[in-house]
Amino acid sequence: MNDQQKEQLLQLIRQGEMRKVIDELLALELKNDIRAETNALAARYQHLLQQQRQGVITHEQASTTHNSITNALIVLVEMAHEGKPLPSASSGKKYSRLTTVGLALGILASIVTILTFVFDIFGGSAETLPGDTLELTVFVHGAQGKQDYVLENQGRITLDLGSNRREAEIGERGQAHFTEIPSKFFGKELELSVKAEGYTLAHPEQRFVFDGNPVYLEIQSSCRSCRLRGTVQAQDSFISGAIVMVKGTGLADTTDVGGNFDIRVPPEEERKEYILTVVHDGRIVYEGFATPSPTTPIEILILE
């Protein structure tokens, strides 16, 4: 196989023309072991298509098998181009199936050109299996991490698929689920936004690539003055374990080892000024007015 034939076959793989690549490989003069593995791949690919038509395989299973076949096919093209036999196992016996994920990835790891090609395919330009529709789950969370359920059973997530705009309600664990997404959007960037009173995207510039995995979307209060954060300290040290309460709201937080507290006030409780009460060692040690600021923390000094 010459360089031009190799590049043509790799381009066909990039375009998802698996059957055509297999047929063209088999039309070449191949070493017996490479021809045998190509025939095995052909049978496996045909079986995959049959399972899809019969609906007896999930999209995730189909994608995993398809990726495994693709990896193995890239390796076969490279081996046929170099005119080398397939590698042997440490025992001296041939691997019975090049299509196993471990072997395919092991060979890929040793061939920089193939790694680059695979990255190009699976980094966003690959076509998914024809005729599929996909699903997407979006989880919204706060600044504390994925388990920070700042929205539950309220608000909606908007997904733009070209000119097609869809919305899904946010559920009890902060999740929104989208179904029947055309497979042509696989590997493409998603445009997501949140529609919930008092909240907005924490990182509106962030982009997400649709790769079949859930998307985690950080959101924040759109009410910039509804966040009360600061420190509680004595004259020469920070006070940990103190309870900072927002009077008249039932909202509170406990200071950490650095004396820090952070209280999110719902937009409906927004005020220009709040009364904070600090309780430490079972007694009230401070009570006073506090004006929230998006840039300047609140400093509470406890005088013993």
At 51-72, the pLDDT tens digits run 777 777 777 677 778 777 887 8
**Same-fold call for 133-221 versus 224-301:** yes
The low-confidence residues of the chain, meaning pLDDT below 70, are 60, 84-132, 198, 222-226, 267-268, 293-295, 304
State the pLDDT at residue 260: 96
State the pLDDT at residue 96: 43
How far, in Å, CA of 211 to CA of 113, rounded?
23
In the chain, helix, strand, coil percent, each to 5? 35, 30, 35
Phi and psi at 192, nearest 5°, equal: -120, 145
Q: What is the pLDDT of residues 263-290, one digit of tens each?
A: 988 766 777 789 999 999 989 999 999 8
Beta bridge partners of 298: 230
Q: Quote the tokens at residue 205.
A: 């510039």
For residue 232, give the amino acid letter: V
Residues 194/222, Cβ–Cβ less than 8 Å = no
Domain borders along the chain are 3-125, 133-221, 224-301
Quickly name the fold that domain 133-221 has: Immunoglobulin-like (2.60.40)
State the pLDDT at residue 267: 67
Other beta carbons within 10 angstroms of residue 20's beta carbon come to 13
State the pLDDT at residue 148: 85
In terms of CATH, what superfamily is 224-301? Immunoglobulins (2.60.40.10)
